[in-house]
Amino acid sequence: MNLPGQDIRPPVHLIDSEYDALNALAYALGHKHPEVSGLLLGELDRAQVHDLAELPDGVITMNAHVEFIDERSGTQSKVQLVYPHQADIAFGRISIATPVGASLIGLSAGDAIMCRYHDGQQRLLRIVSVERPGAGQRDADAR
């Protein structure tokens, strides 16, 4: 088991159509937001790409509702991961073009990953549950 503070990088699983859209987005972000672009490209580079029918249960996709815990503060959050034009933090919709959004994509319930917040602080985020669009119920819960 990895200790908090270590670079934890669980497997990333993506739907093929989202992979293509996210790859284009990451390159488009390159000039204005190079750090987020690099983070997203890094996650895409190590992703296992699947047809939707073959995607493992409980994986965070675009438009999924995700519940996670910031292990440092104990704060629990529930957000929906969306494309930049759909983001609205007041409604819990966070953009994939943020460090948190780019860190969450493709992870599964039970996974944890280190993420650098906008304030520069490193936080260990642990995925509690994932509800994918159209699933009607949670795909998986942390064990």
Q: Is residue 2 part of a domain?
A: no
Position 22: which residue type?
L
pTM of the full structure: 0.83
Is the model's pLDDT at 2 over the cut of 70?
Answer: no
Supply the Cα-derived Rg of the chain in whole angstroms.
14
* Parent domain of 25: 12-135
Burial class (CB in 10 A: 0-12, 13-18, 19+), 138: middle
pLDDT of residue 120: 76
* pLDDT, tens digit, 9 for 90 and up, residues 76-119: 999 999 999 999 999 999 999 998 999 999 999 999 999 887 77
Domain count, the chain: 1
Domain of 100, CATH number, reads: 3.10.50.30
Q: Is residue 143 part of a domain?
A: no
7 confidence band (pLDDT: 50, 70, 90): low
Q: Is residue 140 part of a domain?
A: no
Q: Is residue 121 part of a domain?
A: yes
Q: Is residue 3 part of a domain?
A: no
Q: Is residue 5 part of a domain?
A: no
